[in-house]
């Protein structure tokens, strides 16, 4: 074998080894990119994303899309190179998404809990915005808690310790000054019948008071709101969920029939908070056809620096300001911009 041939064979073998290693060895990075978007006014696999039953609703049109960020985990050295070269992907250290000491399952559970809390906050913020009366419900029961077997999911919590309650915050407020092991009276309604029960409080890991052992939810005084969106987790869809509830419970089209997308956390008072990955969310929205994108005020600088062509950025700080901005756009007016 000539020197030239042997050199060529060695080079080919080296490439084979490098490619082989590159397709097997994993790197401590994840790749972020645009994720799927979902119309909160529409349905996914035949199930309405935001369903309102038992109370009057109104027709909607256009889109109010929530946006997501895709996360590619377990990537190899070779695929990392591909993601690094892709213009719509970004490599970040894995521990920024999956903190050390937490498994993927731990992070998924936390995201699921945040998603559930954002649903409750979105409903309460929307009902408060509309001035509609509410009732506190049992959204989930902590397995093994004292309330397990006494209360059921879907029950309405009427009073705790004799204190009338209509929101999750009021349920928590009624428990102030209690301690683990203390027995409290709970009045609840189930299937139209009211009853009283004694519940022994458990230890609360988050507050210096007893824990009822349920995750309180909120619903209209008459009717129910259900938010369903498969395996999507995290709190960043709160604003868009709240807007969908407002749109369905008020006459007219809140978005003016436009394709509107957005993002942002929301608390029970309607305050909109910042989120991560906004460049990817804006790109996903624009690719889906959105013309307007609602941006939390604290994300405006990053959004303005990465805005895709043809996407109007509207700055929002509260649910009320988002409603006002969409109403202004529908009437031909202007809305606060990230550029202002």
Cα of first residue to Cα of last residue in the chain, in angstroms, is 72
What single-letter DSSP state applies at residue 14?
H
Q: Residue 11's pLDDT is what? A: 45
Choice among 51-55, 82-86, 323-327 with the minimum mean pLDDT: 82-86
Question: 158-212: per-residue pLDDT in tens?
Answer: 999 999 999 999 999 999 999 999 999 999 999 989 999 999 998 877 778 889 9
- Calpha distance 326→313 (Å, rounded): 12
What does the DSSP 8-state code read for residue 307? P
The stretch 231-256 carries a mean pLDDT of 90
- The residue ranges of DSSP E strands in 76-133, in sequence order, are 90-93
Residue 14 has pLDDT above 50, yes or no: no
Across 25-39, 219-233, 294-308, which has the greatest mean pLDDT? 294-308
CATH class for the region spanning 31-130+224-330: alpha beta
- Same CATH topology for 31-130+224-330 and 134-220? no
pLDDT of residue 54: 92
**Beta partners for residue 199, in sequence order:** 184
Return d(Cα 262, Cα 68) in angstroms, integer.
10
Q: Where are the domains of the chain?
A: 31-130+224-330, 134-220
Would you put residue 322 in left (φ > 0), alpha (ψ -120 to 50) or beta?
alpha
Question: Does CATH number 3.50.50.100 belong to domain 134-220?
Answer: no
- Per-chain mean pLDDT for the chain: 87
Q: In whole angstroms, how far apart are CA 285 and each of 71, 179, 307?
A: 17, 48, 11
């Amino acid at each position: 074998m000539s020197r030239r041939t042997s050199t060529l064979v060695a080079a080919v073998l080296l490439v084979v080894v490098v490619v082989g290693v590159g397709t097997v060895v994993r790197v401590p990075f994840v790749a972020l990119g645009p994720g799927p978007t979902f119309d909160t006014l529409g349905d996914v696999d035949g199930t309405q994303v935001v369903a309102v039953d038992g109370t009057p609703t109104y027709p909607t049109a256009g889109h109010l899309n929530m946006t997501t960020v895709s996360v590619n985990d377990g990537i190899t050295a070779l695929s990392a190179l591909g993601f690094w070269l892709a213009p719509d992907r970004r490599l970040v250290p894995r521990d920024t998404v999956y903190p050390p000491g937490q498994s993927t399952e731990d992070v998924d559970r936390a995201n699921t809990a945040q998603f559930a809390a954002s649903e409750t906050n979105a409903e309460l913020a929307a009902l408060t915005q509309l001035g509609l009366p509410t009732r506190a419900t049992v959204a989930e029961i902590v397995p093994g808690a004292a309330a397990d077997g006494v209360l059921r999911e879907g029950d309405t919590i009427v009073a705790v310790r004799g204190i009338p309650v209509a929101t999750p915050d009021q349920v928590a407020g009624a428990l102030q000054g209690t301690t683990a092991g203390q027995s409290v009276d709970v009045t609840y309604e189930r299937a139209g019948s009211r009853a009283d029960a004694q519940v022994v409080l458990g230890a609360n890991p988050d507050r210096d008071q007893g824990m009822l052992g349920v995750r309180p939810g909120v619903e209209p005084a008459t009717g129910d709101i259900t938010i369903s969106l498969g395996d999507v987790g995290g709190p960043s869809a709160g604003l868009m969920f709240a807007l969908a509830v407002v749109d369905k419970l008020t006459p007219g089209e809140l978005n003016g029939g436009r394709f509107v997308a957005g993002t942002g956390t929301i608390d029970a008072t309607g305050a909109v908070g910042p989120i991560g990955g906004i460049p990817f969310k804006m790109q996903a929205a624009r690719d889906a056809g959105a013309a307007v994108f609602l941006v939390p005020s604290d994300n405006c600088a990053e959004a303005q620096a990465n805005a895709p062509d043809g996407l109007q950025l509207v700055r929002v700080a509260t649910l009320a300001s988002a409603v006002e901005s969409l109403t202004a756009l529908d009437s031909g007016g202007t809305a606060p911009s990230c550029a202002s």
